[in-house]
Amino acid sequence: MGQILKSRYDVNEMSKNVDFIHSETREIENLSTLLEYLLKPSSKDMIISGGTVRERSTPSMNVDIDPILAFIKSSGKFIQAGSILGPVSIANGGAQDRLDTLEVRYKETTFDTQQRAYKDPATGDISYQDFDTKARYEMEAQVIQGTEGAGVAPNHTAGWIKLAEIFVEAGENVSILDADIKNCTAGKDGETTANWTAETDATFRLESLSDVKTKFRAKHKEDGDHGDDVVKDQHVDWGTGAEQVDGDLIPIGTAINNTTVGDNPATTKIRAMLQKLADAVNLPIGTILMFDANRPSGGGSPGGASGAWQDNVTMFGWYACIAGNSDHGCPDMVDRFVMGKVVAGTGSIGGNNSHAITINELPSHNHGGSTGDQNVSHTHTGGSHSHNINYGPVGGSYYAIERFINKNWIVQSGMIEASNIGTLSTYTGNHAHSISAQGGGNAMDLRSANYTAIYIRKCA
C-alpha cells in the first residue's frame, strides 16, 4: 500500500518540469492511497457512490451511467464523474439472446494547448512548442459483447470496474430498458450480485457516507438506539433462560391457545407477520393427520417433550379421532384405516378387522377319493347307478357272456339253452362316499403388518 507524499521546493530554487509533474501525479496518487486505507481490507472493486446504469430518457440501443465515485482495487485508481456519461452504445441482438458486460475505468485527458518556451539545459538555446497545459481525469466506458446463446456474460477487463450485465434479446434493435440492465447490488466485500451470471462478486456497492447516515437515521433514534419497529430476530436472544427472551410471554394483544398472554397492542408489522405465518400453515377444518405418541423424543416422555397427545393442547383446535370426541366432529378411527373416496359427501364407517368366510365365498373346486378294491366286501350308499351286461349268440348253439372280473370286462362262452338268450336286466341302487371334514371355521385377520399411531382431526 502506498504512502502520502508531496513535492518539496526550496527558497529561490529554479524548479524543473519533473518537479511539477511529480506534484500533480502525487495529488491523484495520494487520494487513491487515502481511499485504499479507508476501504481496507476490501479485496474487490467498489462503487462508493452512484454508477447506476439506466435506460435513456428516450429508450434506444444506448444506455446512460449516473455520476460516479468508484475505486478500482487492481489498479489502485479511483474514478470520478460529476455528470451523466452517455450514450453508451449496445450492439443489436443477433440470432440468439446475449449477455454483455458494461465496465468503466479511469482516464486522463489533456487539453488547453498553448505555446511555451523551452530552454536547452546544455546549450541554453530557447525554442517554442505547443503544449497541453491542463489535464482532466475522466471515466471511460466500454461494453464487452457476450456470446450468443451462452447464457453467461463475459468476464470484465483487468484495470476496469464492472458496473452491470446487460441482456440483449435475440433480434432486438429498438431499445434497451431498465429491465434488461442488471446493476451491481452486492452491499459488501465478498457478497454477490444475485442476478449476475459471471464474476458475481467482482464489484460491491459502498454507499457514500451521507447515504449511510441517511439510512442509519431512518431506522434509529437521535441517540443511535434502534427505532421502535426495527428489532430483528437476529438481535434477540430467544430461549427460557434468565437473560433470554421467552417467545411465549411476549405480549402481542391477541389470544394464543385460548389464553390471553398480554394486553399490549401488537404493531401493524407484527400482526401482518403473524397473519402471513398463519396463512402459510393454515389447514382447513376437517384435515386428518397422524400423531406418534409411542416413541420418546430425546429421552423424554412418549410423544416428545409434551408427553402423550392432549386434545386442544398439544395442537390448538385439534382432537383425537376417537368415539369420545364425536361431538367435535371426529370419527372413531381406532383400529381403522383410511380409504379414499370421491370429493362430495361425508365420511362413512365400513369394513372389519377379521372375517369368517362362507360357502358362497369359496371358489368352485373338487375333492378327490377312492372306494377301495372290488374283492373286499363293501357297500355303496348314495346316488343311483347301474351296471349293464350284454350277452348273445356267438355262432351255432354257443353263447357268450360279458363279465366284470378283476377290474376288466372279459367274455366267457359255452353251451346255453336257446330259451336263455336275451338281455340281462339293469340293476340300480343307492350308495354314498364319506369324506372327513377339515377346518375350524374361525374368522381370519384381514389386517396387513402395521404400526399404530393416533389419528387427529382439525376441528377449530
| Residue boundaries of the structural domains of the chain | 41-210, 219-281
pTM of full prediction above 0.85: no
Q: Which amino acid is at 125?
A: D
Residues facing residue 392 across a β-bridge: 400
- For the chain, helix (H) and strand (E) counts, in that order, are 3, 23
Angle at 307 between CA 306 and CA 311, to 5 degrees: 80
Sign of CA dihedral 69, 74, 77, 83: negative
Residue that the C-alpha cell 466485500 belongs to: 189
Terminal C-alpha separation, the chain: 68
Distance set, CA 287 to CA 284, 290, 320, 329 (Å): 6, 10, 12, 11
Contact predicate 409/365, CB 8 Å: no
Residue 128 φ then ψ, to 5°? -125, 135
Strands 98-119 vs 161-168: parallel, antiparallel or unpaired: antiparallel
Region label for 345, one of left (φ > 0), alpha (ψ between -120 and 50) or beta (otherwise): left
Contact predicate 393/401, CB 8 Å: no
Is 422 strand, coil or helix?
coil
Strands 45-50 vs 203-205: parallel, antiparallel or unpaired: parallel
Q: Which residues, other chains included, contact 285 with Cβ-Cβ below 8 Å and sequence gap of 6+?
A: 458, 459, 460
Is 413 strand, coil or helix?
strand
The three grid cell numbers given for residue 427, joined into one nine-digit string: 340293476
Is 137 strand, coil or helix?
strand
Confidence (pLDDT) at 92: 97
Angle at 244 between CA 238 and CA 246, to 5 degrees: 60
Residue that the C-alpha cell 402471513 belongs to: 276
Confidence (pLDDT) at 88: 96
Residue that the C-alpha cell 377444518 belongs to: 285
Of 369, 365, 367, the C-alpha closest to 380 is 369
Burial track 393-429 (b if 16+ CB lie within 10 A, e otherwise): eeeeeebebeeeeeeeeeeeeeeeeeeeeeeeeeeee
Q: Which amino acid is at 255?
A: A
Sign of CA dihedral 224, 229, 234, 239: positive
Sign of CA dihedral 121, 126, 128, 133: positive
The three grid cell numbers given for residue 167, joined into one nine-digit string: 441482456
- The secondary element (H helix, E strand) that includes residue 114 is strand 98-119
Confidence (pLDDT) at 96: 96
Residue 249 φ then ψ, to 5°? -105, 5
CA 4 to CA 413: how far, in whole Å? 149
The three grid cell numbers given for residue 101, joined into one nine-digit string: 458486460
Confidence (pLDDT) at 161: 96
Is 280 strand, coil or helix?
helix
**Splitting the chain (460 residues) into consecutive groups of 10 residues, what average pLDDT does each group show?**
58 62 65 66 84 94 94 83 92 97 90 85 88 82 97 95 97 96 91 95 78 71 67 68 66 44 49 64 84 62 57 86 91 85 72 79 74 51 45 47 51 49 46 67 79 87
CA 236 to CA 244: how far, in whole Å? 8
Confidence (pLDDT) at 164: 97
